[in-house]
Amino acid sequence: MSAGRDCYIIADNIYAPLANTTASNFEQLLKGESAVHVHNRPDLSEVPLAASLFNKDEFAEKEIYSKFEQLLIASVQEALNQTDIAVNSPRTGLIISSTKGNIALLEDHPYSAELQKRIALTTSADLVANYFGFVSKPVVISNACISGVMATVTAMRLIKSGLYDDIVVTGADVVSKFIVSGFQSFQALSATQCKPFDKDRTGLNLGEGAATVILSSNEKYRGSIRVTGGGISNDANHISGPSRTGEELAHAIKQAMHTAGLKPQGIDMISAHGTATPYNDEMEAKALTIAGLANAPLTGLKAVYGHTLGAAGLIEAIITAESMRRSIILPTAGFHETGTAPLNISTSITRTDIHNAVKTSSGFGGCNGVLILSK
C-alpha cells in the first residue's frame, strides 16, 4: 500500500467551540485553553454536564440544513477556501463521517417515514454534496468513534488506488439529549474535565464540532504532510466494552506501520484516543505496549475538545499534522499521574522534529482505527 501515489494533506479545518480554524485552534492549545466546561443545560441533561458545547443559539434552524449539516458545510467551506480543487470533477470525492448525524431530530419531531428519511446520513451527505456542487456520489462512514479515522484511511486507499485525485473528508457530531443519556446510562461521563490515562480518571467528556481534511495525489503538493498508512481491526469481544488485552488495536497499529513501511522506532509521536474511561485507556496502553510504542511521546486531546465522536479522529489527526508542521508535541490536558500500563505521556510543550506520527481510535462494537502521518 505504501507504493504508488502519495496522499497529501493539502487543506484542513477544525470548527469547534474552542475555535473555528486549524491555526486558531492550535494557538488556543499552546495557551493551555480548554473548551470543556460544566454546563447547566436541562435540554441535554438533568444534572450538570461537563462538555465542550457551542452556544445554544449559535446554529439557528434553517429551512433546509440542520445544525449537524451547518457544521459540515462551515468546515468544508473553510477548507475549500485554501485550495483550487474542482469539486465538480468526477475525480474529486467526498466522504462524510459521523456516529449519530441528525439523531437529535427524533427528540423534537414525531416519528414518520419522512423523518426516517430525513435522519438518514445519506440524506445529509446529498445535501452537503449538492450545496458545494460535487458530482461524485458521497461516501458515508459511520463506525462509532473510529468514523473519522476510518474515513481518512478509506480516502487514502481510494487515492492510492487511482479512483480519485482529490478527496474531501469531513466529519461532525453534535451533542443531544439522546447521546448524553446513552453515555450516562453507561456511567461513562466525568463530572469535571476528564483525565486521560490518569490514575484518578473517572470518565469522558462529550464534545461537538466538525473537521475537514482535503487529500490529494497532485505532486505539486510534494512537501506537505502525507497520509502514509492505515489499519482497521475489531476486538470481537463486546458491544460496549473494549478488549481486555489490547491485541486487536495493536494489530491495527502494526498494520498501519506496515503499510507506511515503518518500524516502532520510526514513530516520533502518538496522538492517542485517550477517552479517560478506565477500561479504554488501559486497553489502549496495553495495545501501544504490544505494538512497541510504549516509549514514544504520547499526547491526547479529549480534555480540550471532549469526545466529539465521529469528528474526533479528524480533529485529532489535523492537530497531529499541525504539530508536525510546527515541530511541537502538545501536553495531555488533564493528565497528572499514570494510571495505566506505563506510557511516555507528554505533560508539557516539547519542541522536536516529528517525521512520523500515529493516530489511534477505538469505539463501541470493538472497532479500532489507526492512521500514520508522515512528512
DSSP sequence for 348-361: S-EE---SEEEEEE
pLDDT tens-digit series, residues 323-370:
999 999 999 999 999 999 999 999 999 999 999 999 999 999 999 999
Q: Output the pLDDT for position 224.
A: 98
The grid coordinates listed for 16 are 469547534
Task: Output the CA angle 283-207-93, nearest 5 degrees.
Answer: 90
b/e per residue 39-50 (b: at least 16 CB within 10 A):
eebeebbeeebb
| pTM for this entry | 0.97
Please tell me what DSSP assigns to residue 239.
Answer: S
Question: Do the bridges between strand 269-271 and strand 356-363 make them parallel or antiparallel, or are there none, so unpaired?
Answer: parallel
The grid coordinates listed for 344 are 511516555
Give the closest residue to 19 by CA, choosing from 322, 364, 229: 322
Residue type, 29: L
180 Cβ neighbours under 8 A, 6+ residues apart: 44, 45, 49, 189, 206
Tell me which H or E stretch contains 8: strand 8-15
55 Cβ neighbours under 8 A, 6+ residues apart: none
Q: Output the pLDDT for position 62.
A: 66
The grid coordinates listed for 270 are 502518538
Residue 75 contacts residue 69 (beta carbons within 8 Å): no
Task: Please state, in angstroms and rounded to a whole number, the distance separating the CA atoms of residues 317 and 271.
Answer: 8
- The list of the chain residues with pLDDT below 70 reads 1-3, 61-63
Q: Angle of helix 67-80 relative to helix 121-132, nearest 10 degrees?
A: 40
Burial of 357 (0-12, 13-18, 19+ CB in 10 A): buried
Q: Output the pLDDT for position 57.
A: 84
Q: CB neighbours (10 Å) of residue 218?
A: 15
Task: Please state, in angstroms and rounded to a whole number, the distance separating the CA atoms of residues 108 and 112.
Answer: 12
Q: Output the pLDDT for position 2.
A: 44
Residue 216's SS3 state is strand
Largest CA distance in the chain: 55
Which value, to the nearest 10 degrees, does the dihedral of the CA atoms of residues 101, 106, 108, 109 take? 120
Q: Output the pLDDT for position 112.
A: 95
Please state, in angstroms and as integers, the Cα–Cα distance from residue 227 to each residue in 112, 117, 152, 302, 353, following that order.
Answer: 42, 34, 8, 22, 17
Give the closest residue to 343 by CA, choosing from 357, 356, 332, 359: 332
135 Cβ neighbours under 8 A, 6+ residues apart: 87, 88, 89, 90
150 Cβ neighbours under 8 A, 6+ residues apart: 97, 141, 143, 232, 313, 367, 369
Residue 157 contacts residue 112 (beta carbons within 8 Å): no
Please tell me what DSSP assigns to residue 81.
Answer: T
Length of the chain: 375
